[in-house]
Chains A and B, each alone.
Chain A
Amino acid sequence: MDDRITIKVADLIGSPLCISAEDGQKVFEKVEPLLKKGKSVTIFFDHVTMLVSLFLNVAIGQLYGSFSEEEVRSLVKVEGLSGDDMELLKRVVDNAKKYYANPKGYDAAWQDGENEDE
């Protein structure tokens, strides 16, 4: 029996606009405990009219702070996203993997050039 759980994003956040970090956090807080219990989750984006990276960073990118790539890959699916939004999600996921692999790396990688007094 398939006990995959579907989270309907637009229903959960009460809006077709996936733009705020707060709403992203709402999704994350539903997905994370389910994954901790080993449940398979489908994040369903039907009826969403606007999606931005900030929301996805918090809702999905943040999962890589709690779970391995393998765990996320085996348990999480997304549905209902257009092709261009899937590409956006791919960028967010790649960025999140890099971030959690070395959170301080982004900062250290920055070598400031000329610092003038202003």
Chain B
Amino acid sequence: MKLEVGTIRSNMDGFNRIARIAKETRNMLLDSIDLDFSGCRFFEANMVAPLYVVIARLRNELNDVSIQNVSSEIERILKKNHFFTVFNMASIPDNNQTTLPFKIFKLHAGEQFYDYLESYMKGRGIPRMTEALTKRFRQSLVEIFLNASIHSDSASGIFACGQFFPQKHRFDFTIADAGIGIRENVRRYTGNKKVSSCSAINWALIEGNTTKTGRQPGGLGLKLIKDFIRMNEGKLQIVSRFGYYEFSASGDAIEKMDHDFPGTSVNIEINTQDTNSYCLKTELSSDDIF
């Protein structure tokens, strides 16, 4: 079966195109799928993480997935960020060091994920940011990774990729999993089998809400990330099953996608020129906290 990939950017259209590939191939087993890039004019490198969600699910059903008609420009981008190694193609050096390469992590590899961020963000061209911003960015990415570790139940692991766009002073990082989705987690937790993907995302975004069990507080991670993104004037996108949520300086919006994305993908885009200190003017003491 041959399937058009099309142009993929970090937006609803891009996620819908990826979800459409999942839909068209849903029940395939021991089959062959060619991803046809002839209609792909641009591929935002971080979006390989959600694309791999679909590929991982297909390979899990022992399908053979290959690529064809990739333009030389897109081939260069996707070799530079190591994505094409999943098709047994060699990667090429990232001379400008604008990439955090595509990587597949085991579900509970939080520390390896942190090491990956350390090694690719430290002392490289990616990008010169204040210490406070770097710390909040990494903290946010680790929170997202841990959310996927705890909640996704993804048999194929967690997929990550980042791309710096120097002209725009923007850095996009995407963490995706081929798991059960936020909807299924919320359905199981609340016992309400009709919760929609969009309602489930809205539920997960409320401070204190968590599907974690065991009488422990939680549900802060996404709220902290939203607060950070608000101050940074960046962007947060959460895609899970049919739900597409986007938060930016212009507000937040949630929409139902045309197709079912078979997992969860969180993309954060930060403004790398941000000089906020991310700290209150008056320092808190131990007595102020408890």
Mark A residues whose CB is within 8 Å of B: 15, 17, 19-21, 50-54, 57-58, 61-62, 64-65, 69, 72-73, 76-79, 82-84, 86-93, 95-96, 98-100, 103, 106-107, 109-110, 112-118
Contacts and interface: CB of A to CB of B under 8 A. Distances in A.
Interface stretch (B16-24, B37-45, B81-89, B214-222): B214-222
Given A17-B114, A83-B279, A93-B290, A114 B199 contact: yes
B190 A84 contact: no
The 5 closest A-B pairs by CB, nearest first: A99-B217, A115-B194, A73-B290, A86-B284, A96-B217
5 contacts: A51-B139, A93-B290, A107-B190, A113-B202, A116-B196
B146 A54 contact: yes
B197 interface: yes
Interface string B195-234: 1111100110011110000011111110010000000000
Given A90-B289, A110-B190, A112-B199, A84 B110 contact: no
Contact of A54 (B143, B190, B278, B285): B143
Interface string B136-172: 1011001100100010000000000000000000000
Chain A interface main SS type:
helix
A99 B194 CA distance: 26
B286 A83 contact: no
A118 B196 contact: yes
Contacts of A109: 206
A19 B285 CA distance: 22
A82 B131 CA distance: 13
Contact of A52 (B198, B219, B221, B283): B221
Contacts of A118: 183, 196-197, 241-242, 260
Pick the most buried of A21, A53, A91: most chain B CB atoms within 10 A of its CB: A53
Interface string B28-64: 0000000000000000000000000000000000000
